[in-house]
Chains A and B, each alone.
Chain A
Amino acid sequence: QKEVEQNSGPLSVPEGAIASLNCTYSDRVSQSFFWYRQYSGKSPELIMSIYSNGDKEDGRFTAQLNKASQYVSLLIRDSQPSDSATYLCAGGLNQGGKLIFGQGTELSVKP
């Protein structure tokens, strides 16, 4: 099993819909998780962090962490075309201070 795994997509949603991005992780990954947004040709931008079980909301974004299922997700409400990007899930390795990235999920929001 990869340490952090995401569906590569692409995920296509209509404007105004909820986009749901998912990520699973292995036992080697700690409880610190991050979502990065990467526009084409640009560097990743940190948009959400989550450290404890449950939901964390920031504007239109909600991160969810389920430790029992080793599952972390990002919900984007009222999706906009400007949300079209690749979203990278990342988790901290239990030892060594390294951050492990998933392959990324490409999101396309259609007007």
Chain B
Amino acid sequence: DGGITQSPKYLFRKEGQNVTLSCEQNLNHDAMYWYRQDPGQGLRLIYYSQIVNDFQKGDIAEGYSVSREKKESFPLTVTSAQKNPTAFYLCASSPPGALYEQYFGPGTRLTVT
């Protein structure tokens, strides 16, 4: 089955620890995205990548880092520098030639205490 997978579904960490969220897709999509959603708010773009080995900062990149070593994978690291890391993290990808048409994975809910 083709799709976007994110793991884990729920993640708990102590303050001060870095944590890496996984995002994998087997849809042959070139572009991948990371968003953050807080309760009652829309989606805010963290980072995005349109091709392998290249990525750009979104609107709220501070405290986050990414890599894009393979087309299928776009992991997000939430560092200890991120002041309010508790949120619902969503990974998305878009097919070739349809940059704005984004499909989402199931999300990872991160809680930092």
Contact = CB atoms under 8 A, between A and B. Distances in A.
Nearest to A89: B42
B106 to A, nearest CB: 5
Contacts of B43: 44, 88, 101
Majority-rule SS of A interface residues: strand
Given A42-B106, A43-B90, A98-B58, A34 B101 contact: yes
Interface string A14-42: 00000000000000001010101000001
Contacts of A99: 33, 45, 100, 102
Interface in B44-63: 45, 48, 50, 56, 58
Interface residues of B, number: 21
Contacts of A36: 104
Contacts, number: 50
Contacts of A32: 100-101
9 contacts: A32-B100, A34-B102, A43-B104, A45-B104, A88-B42, A90-B100, A96-B56, A103-B42, A104-B42
Interface of A: 8, 30, 32, 34, 36, 42-46, 49, 88, 90, 92, 96-99, 101-104
